[in-house]
Structure 1
Amino acid sequence: MSESPRPIVVSVPTDELAADIGAVPEGVDLVVWDLRSPAPRDAFDMVVPPYMSGKRLLSALENISVGMLQSQSIGYEGMGRYLPEGTKLANASSVHETATAEIAVGLAIAAQRDLADYVRNQESARWAPQFSRSVADRTVLVLGYGGVGKAVASRLLPFETTIVPVASRARDEDGVHVHGIDELDELLPRTDILMITLPGGETTKGLIGARELALLPDGALVVNVGRGTVLDTDALVSELQSERLRAALDVVDPEPLPEDHPLWGAPGALVVPHVGGAADAMRPRIAKLVRTQIERLAAGEEPLNIVEP
């Protein structure tokens, strides 16, 4: 009599995510494991770590067989060295683009229309109207034209902006001309809002430094919803303290930003604590992605979103 096949074993970090995934195909064993407690199995076909855990918890995978790690984040830079040998990595493309685009547009509007000033005035019951910049009629350079960059661009177009997409290489895509990164020196002086949506990693680290910031015109706004390491923090602080540029940042370097860091109090700086994807749109979307991955594993199909860390 032949033995029944081994079940496909998938772990998710919370009971909530397990409940959201719902019923799984026959032959799939769905368990809850937060990577902080002892592993409930010695082998997994897929492990979903906690959201925003980064690389901190991946040591829990040591001496455990893991077929695939399904991250809950889009970014995956530097994770390769922490994965068990032979483990595939999938990112959460399709989960966070919409929410990150919302925070990007929100930051741009808040900075242009001086909303932070009005919040401070409200705390002291001070009625103080002021004339501010618009988002309309601005040239927005979207640096990084992947999923997040395209989502941001599509939402900014109805604000009657001019979108200038920039990627690693020039190309025409879906009727849009995408500029190459080698054109930055020519494009930055004509940019009103620099929207950074690039991932982290060695290839993008410090890409926007003192020289690039100096090319921006006076009064330009720098928005970063990609990774903090793309932007030279010291160079940005220097520009802010001179009150030549302004910034609205969802990501910074370092994170978390130390209490005594000069960026907190720099003129024209609006800082939020890396919350681009932290919206309730994430919950059904991550459940849908993980459920799809489970179904593909059960059907013997290649998982989605496999990346090279």
Structure 2
Amino acid sequence: MRILVSSEPDDEVGADLLSQLPGVDVVRYDPTAAELDDDQRGADVLIPPYRGSHRPIRLLSQLPKLSYVQLLTAGADEWSGDVPAEKLLVNARGAVAGPVSEWVLSAILALYRQWPALTRYQDTATWAHRRVAADTLAGKRVLIVGAGAIGWAVARRMPAFDAETTLVASSARAGVHGPDELPALIGDHDIIVLTLPLTPATTGLVDKTFLAAMRDDTVLVNASRGGIIDTEALVSELQTERIRAALDVTDPEPLPRDHPLWTSPGVIISPHMSRTVPGTNALCYQVAAEQIHQHLDGRIPTNIVTERRTK
């Protein structure tokens, strides 16, 4: 099996790891190139690069033998509309659950303990004792929308802060509510965390109606994809200062410099970096290698993407 692995520095660890699999021939490629050479065109598997994974989409048409695309991300939305249905599309679900769940906790605590305001006071050398209204996570009810690896990782960390969690997913199961129950749950929680994939069913899920159902001073945390939130509706709600938000992703992305979301009250924004900690690329490639090994053994990869977007 010939596998295309990016030649960029972040992907060196992946080339080393995959080359240890029996029956695998690792071929490096430049994800910024417009054309593949003959050796690269013979690949069976394409792995998009760790950074800027959407860049090689244009190379799909140059891979006549391609049967499998292995992503290094949990989200598959950038690729699902371009990879033909007869070819395998597999994600790296579970690889970054730890780093992303840490980001979720840090974002909630930053808002509750008023770190953005305190940092601004520090910039002016102001001793802001009793000038901010800090809060505690203890006793709060947290609604996690998306019960995959990241959602469960967030849920496992909440008891350490004496917070209570409720999980919602695309289908009901033990300990997880179904999507039909979501509207009734929104107003009963202090924090809503989004850790679900972007699909046709979830695009624009957090719309004007969803936001209006949130109780006053709810914190909305998006660690999934920007398109799950109606940005215009969120900006309007933030302007009322009724709710707050922590966003690692936005729609559009990158967020234009003049976008009103930047200056909306009660929001903190990070530039799609919740998974980015030392060693994250190795974690992603470890999951990728596991999935490819399953495929080599004649099994269906456990992280296969079944729901495809259309473009």
TM-score (norm 1): 0.89
SS at match of 1:239: helix
Q: Does 1:90 align with 2:90?
A: yes
Higher strand share: 1
Of 246, 249, 271, the match for 2:247: 249
Write the letter of the residue equivalent to 1:88: L
Deviation at 1:276, TM superposition (A): 1.6
Instruction: Note if contact 2:94-2:150 (Cα within 8 Å) is conserved in structure 1.
Output: no
| Residues 1-309 of structure 1 aligned to structure 2 (within 5 Å) | 8-14=1-7, 16-18=12-14, 20-21=16-17, 23-37=19-33, 38-39=35-36, 40-64=39-63, 65-77=65-77, 79-83=79-83, 86-129=86-129, 130-172=132-174, 176=175, 178-308=176-306, 309=308
**Compared CA separation, residues 223 and 271, structure 1 to 2 (3 A):** same
**Compared CA separation, residues 18 and 233, structure 1 to 2 (3 A):** closer
Write the letter of the residue equivalent to 2:20: V
Instruction: Note if contact 1:198-1:226 (Cα within 8 Å) is conserved in structure 2.
Output: yes
SS at match of 2:118: helix
Structure 1 residues 42-86: Cα deviation after superposition (integer angstroms, max 9, x where no partner) = 221221111243444211121312121111111112523322563
**Compared CA separation, residues 188 and 282, structure 1 to 2 (3 A):** same
Listed as ranges, the gaps of 5+ residues in structure 1 are: 1-7
**Compared CA separation, residues 295 and 144, structure 1 to 2 (3 A):** closer
Deviation at 1:109, TM superposition (A): 0.7
Write the letter of the residue equivalent to 1:47: L
**Compared CA separation, residues 71 and 277, structure 1 to 2 (3 A):** same
Listed as ranges, the gaps of 5+ residues in structure 2 are: none
Structure 1 stretches of 4+ with a deviation exceeding 6 A read none
Write the letter of the residue equivalent to 2:268: L
**Compared CA separation, residues 259 and 135, structure 1 to 2 (3 A):** same
Q: After superposing the two structures, state which structure 1 stretch, 289-298 or 227-236, moved more.
A: 289-298
Instruction: Note if contact 2:72-2:285 (Cα within 8 Å) is conserved in structure 1.
Output: no
Write the letter of the residue equivalent to 1:273: P
Write the letter of the residue equivalent to 2:138: A
The alignment of Structure 1 onto Structure 2 pairs a total of residues equal to 298
CA distance in 2, matches of 1:231, 1:291: 33
Instruction: Note if contact 2:19-2:26 (Cα within 8 Å) is conserved in structure 1.
Output: no
Instruction: Note if contact 1:24-1:295 (Cα within 8 Å) is conserved in structure 2.
Output: no
Write the letter of the residue equivalent to 2:121: N
Write the letter of the residue equivalent to 1:230: I
Write the letter of the residue equivalent to 1:122: Q
CA distance in 1, matches of 2:246, 2:290: 35
SS at match of 1:165: strand
Instruction: Tell me what 1:4 maps to.
Output: none
Deviation at 1:298, TM superposition (A): 4.6
CA RMSD of aligned residues (A): 2.0
Q: Percent identity?
A: 36
